[in-house]
Chains A and B, each alone.
Chain A
Amino acid sequence: MANNNAYPSEHHEGPEGTKWIWKVFWILLIVTSVEVALGIIKPEVLMGHVLGTSVLNIIFIVLTLAKAYYIVSEFMHLGHERKNFIWTITLPIVILIPYLTFILLTEGGYMNAMSQM
């Protein structure tokens, strides 16, 4: 065990100081505030249907993915690791999760349609 601790990770030169941390904090806070404001107001213009849901829901999902990107890339520092490591972690996620989501939501919609026949 002591052997493992003898080799800390290579130090990657990230941005100096703590300014970038607060920058990411403000991004996350503002995006969350926008989501909450949209969720309370629910603007009529955004209620149109696209891709099986409302435009508003698509906006929520895009904003959520943006927040996820900043947390993983900056707070978890993955964006500053070596390229091979970035791909090792992100590829299984970006392949498997959209696949699973597609299959389950399609089948859920199908079961709903069948129950109404």
Chain B
Amino acid sequence: MANGAALEQNTTAIWGGGRQPFGVSYGKMMMWFFLLSDALTFSGFLTAMGLYRFKYETTWPVAENVFTHFPLLHGEHPLLFVALMTFILILSSVTMVLAVNAGHKMNTKAVVLWLGLTIVGGFTFLGSQAWEWYHFINGDKGAVMLEDRTVMYVTPIDGNGEIISIYELITGQEKPHGDHTEFKTADMIAAFGINDNMTLRMPGKGTEEGAITLSREEAMAAMKGARVLQGAGMKANEYGNTLFANFFFFVTGFHGTHVFSGVVLNIIIFINVLMGTYERRGHYEMVEKVGLYWHFVDLVWVFVFTFFYLV
């Protein structure tokens, strides 16, 4: 009897609730499981992009020809702006860790400061992404879309694959910074006929010798039924394969949505910190849970940065 009673007490202690097999509270564990599923979602998108990038190797644009702008700077600066965006997101991740750290010490004032800075960082990143999208959608140099919807760049016959803008082809002058003139197909075809040192090339890396380039005769023949293409949308884009822009909009858009909801969550807990909700509760674990989500957004960006801009 005594033995049975002891056993009963023991099972109550084990199965009666209140114990944490993982040493993690329910809310925090569920946040981790959500992030696990979200990581699989993002990897689905990025690997799907990898599939099409491998399939359409010749028409898939090279990132350094696409993302070349930096605010207030003229000329081409590949990677610089996205490096700045990465820096902003890493910094806001640091301020989030500092907020969680201050929460462990029940230091409300420090939580307010660091959480506030995290929200500022989040908005700065969203603004940068809007800027990036604006330039991506407006386009830069413009391209030629052939009758079969293949996108090709105008390039000098004996050049090293340098991309000549439609502006330069038609006017003979270098394209001014921030110019968004819309050109007519007839003007482009006429200018291409006159400039007999120009030909067309594929946007992709191509073979070891470089991008696939047409001969002048092939290019002239391809120009029949071609049209001028400026900017980027869901149906066509001047950078190359249509799916490239589709994936860009979808993946960075989905990530941006995550950043936006992260900022909203941060604002909600910021208000709760100010109202003293967690002070009364006796712990700041909610800051930690939302912090996990915020770091995950940074983590995803690290991969988006690599697979859209570097590789």
**B-side contacts of A105, CB under 8 Å:** 47, 50-51, 54
Point out the residues of chain B lying under 8 angstroms from A84, CB to CB. Answer: 21-22
Contact string against A for B residues 68-98, beta-carbon threshold 8 Å, 1 for contact and 0 otherwise: 0000000000111001001100110110111
Quick one: closest B residue to A35, CB to CB? B310
The complex places the Cα of A92 from the Cα of B39 at a distance, in Å, of: 10
Question: Within 8 Å CB of B298, what residues of A?
Answer: 71, 75
What's the count of A-B pairs with C-beta under 8 Å? 148
Given A82-B22, A89-B36, the answer on whether A100 and B47 have CB atoms closer than 8 Å is yes
Residues A60 and B22 in contact in the complex (CB < 8 Å), given A68-B299, A71-B299: no
A11-B25 in contact given A35-B310, A75-B97, A112-B56 (Cβ < 8 Å): no
> Does A96 touch B at the CB level, under 8 Å?
yes
Residues from chain A with a CB closer than 8 A to the CB of B57 are 112
Instruction: List the B side residues contacting A53 at CB < 8 Å.
Output: 311
Residue in B48, B86, B282 with the greatest tally of chain A CB atoms within 10 Å:
B86
Q: Could you tell me if B32 and A89 are in contact, using CB atoms closer than 8 angstroms?
A: yes
Given A7-B26, A81-B23, decide whether A39 and B309 contact each other with a Cβ distance below 8 A.
yes
Q: Are A18 and B295 in contact (CB under 8 A)?
A: no
The answer to whether B54 touches A32, judged by C-beta atoms less than 8 angstroms apart, is no
A residues 3-18 near B (Cβ < 8 Å) are 4-5, 7-12, 18
Q: Does A61 contact B (CB under 8 A)?
A: yes
Contact with A along B1-28 (1 / 0, CB 8 A): 0000000000000000010111111111
- Given A104-B51, A115-B55, 8 other A-B contacts at CB below 8 A? A7-B18, A29-B90, A39-B79, A61-B306, A85-B32, A92-B40, A96-B40, A112-B55
Residue contacts A-B, CB under 8 angstroms, 14 given: A9-B25, A21-B97, A24-B94, A24-B97, A60-B311, A67-B302, A68-B303, A71-B298, A76-B295, A76-B299, A82-B22, A100-B43, A108-B51, A112-B54
Q: Which residues of B contact A (CB under 8 A)?
A: 18, 20-29, 32, 36, 39-40, 43-44, 47-48, 50-57, 64, 78-80, 83, 86-87, 90-91, 93-94, 96-98, 101, 104, 281-283, 285, 288, 292, 295-296, 298-299, 302-303, 305-306, 309-311
Q: Which residues of A contact B (CB under 8 A)?
A: 4-5, 7-12, 18, 21-22, 24-25, 28-29, 32-33, 35-36, 39-40, 53, 57, 60-61, 64, 67-68, 71-72, 75-76, 81-82, 84-85, 88-89, 92-93, 96-97, 100-101, 104-105, 107-109, 111-112, 115
| Nearest 9 interchain pairs by C-beta | A108-B54, A108-B51, A85-B22, A104-B51, A111-B55, A64-B306, A36-B83, A9-B25, A8-B283
